């Protein structure tokens, strides 16, 4: 069953963006890049690592390096206790 993006964010998922650098199969000295993005759980990143394993098994271009970032879209807000209020006219 597919969950909506909002449901995933409420369950703690954040948007993970990865840039994979890989070597061209026929030209090993040429690096190319691929951008991957999905909602994932930090710090384990199970979806990202599953995709990297898929790449290693199914894609001919060997990986050179992977760089990624993770951002939670919904997080606890700032809360502060207010003891008074001023009204200006």
pLDDT of the residue at 61:
92
pLDDT of the residue at 88:
72
Residue range(s) defining the domain that contains residue 64? 5-71
Query: Per-residue pLDDT for the chain (89 aa), expressed as one digit of tens each?
Result: 567 888 888 888 999 999 999 999 899 999 999 999 999 999 999 999 999 999 999 999 999 999 999 998 776 665 566 677 666 76
60 occurs within a structural domain: yes
Cα within 13 Å of Cα(57), Cβ side: 6
Number of domains, the chain = 1
23 occurs within a structural domain: yes
13 occurs within a structural domain: yes
21 occurs within a structural domain: yes
86 occurs within a structural domain: no
Q: Distance between CA atoms of 48 and 37, rounded to whole angstroms?
A: 9
> Between β-strands 14-23 and 31-40, what pairing exists: parallel, antiparallel or unpaired?
antiparallel
33 occurs within a structural domain: yes
pLDDT of the residue at 85:
67
Contact 16, 69 (CB under 8 A): yes
Please list the alpha-helical segments (H only) found in 18-85.
46-58
88 occurs within a structural domain: no
Overall pTM > 0.95 = no
Contact 18, 35 (CB under 8 A): yes
51 occurs within a structural domain: yes
């Amino acid at each position: 069953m597919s969950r909506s993006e909002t449901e995933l964010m409420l369950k703690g998922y954040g948007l993970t963006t990865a840039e994979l650098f890989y070597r061209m199969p026929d030209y090993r000295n040429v690096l190319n890049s691929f951008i991957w993005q999905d909602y994932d759980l930090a710090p384990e990143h199970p979806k990202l690592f599953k995709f990297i394993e898929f790449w290693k098994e199914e894609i001919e271009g060997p990986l050179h390096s992977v760089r990624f970032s993770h951002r939670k879209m919904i997080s606890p807000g700032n809360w502060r206790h207010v003891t008074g209020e001023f009204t200006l006219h």
